[in-house]
Each structure stands twice: as C-alpha cells, then as structure tokens.
Amino acid sequence: MATTPNTDARKRLFFPDGNHWHCHGADVHHRPDGNPARAADSCIAVYSYFNKDRSHAPHVLLAASTTPADFLYQLSPADARTFAATLIEAANTADEVRNALQAQQQRGR
C-alpha cells in the first residue's frame, strides 16, 4: 500500500500496487471550537481513496486533525456531494448573517 497520497495534479488514478489515494486541494486550517486562533496542526483535508485489500468501494476520505486526535470520515461519492452542497449553503448563510451584523453596526453608529 502506498503510504502517502498522490498530490500529482494529473490525478494518476492508481499507484503501481493498484491502490488509489489522491489529495484534493490544499489542507484547510481551522480553529478548534472555542479557540480564536488558527492552529497550524489543526486542518481538514479531502482525499479520494481506494485500497484494493481493505476498501469495499472507492470513497471520499475527510480527514480532520486537531492535535492530539485525528478523525477520519469515509463518505460515499453521493454523500460527499450532498455534504459539499450543505457546506456551501452554510457558508452562504454565514455570509448573510455577517452582512446583516455589519449593517446593524453601521446603523448603530
């Protein structure tokens, strides 16, 4: 089994051993809940993954690292698409809330 994900922009589908592990995009550094600063070792990464000996089917692997723990979530391609749409909806709503708060602050000045 390959020990590191393929980050080649050409997206080679399989390693010579028949497995697949590809990192998509850059890691997103996040703020652990309650911590206002972004931690360098707290990140979320997304991979497409298949291990011919252990995987039942190719899947999306969502890896969330918050020292000292790592959380790995396996999503079907369909569930990953649903999750992506939900993230976009939440981001859009957060933007609306931020804009409303800024408008309230400007009116209060």
Q: What does the pLDDT look like over 9-29, one tens digit per residue?
A: 556 788 989 899 999 988 888
Mean pLDDT, range 96-101, rounded to an integer: 97
Residue whose entry in the numeric block shows the structure tokens 């998509």: 24
Catalogue the E-assigned strands of 30-84.
Answer: 43-50, 59-66, 69-75
Q: Taking CA 72 as the corner, what is the angle to CA 92 and CA 15, rounded to the nearest 5 degrees?
A: 105
pLDDT (tens digit, 9 = 90+) per residue, 46-89?
999 999 998 889 999 999 987 777 899 999 999 999 999 999 99
pLDDT of residue 31: 75
Q: Please state the pTM of the whole predicted model.
A: 0.75
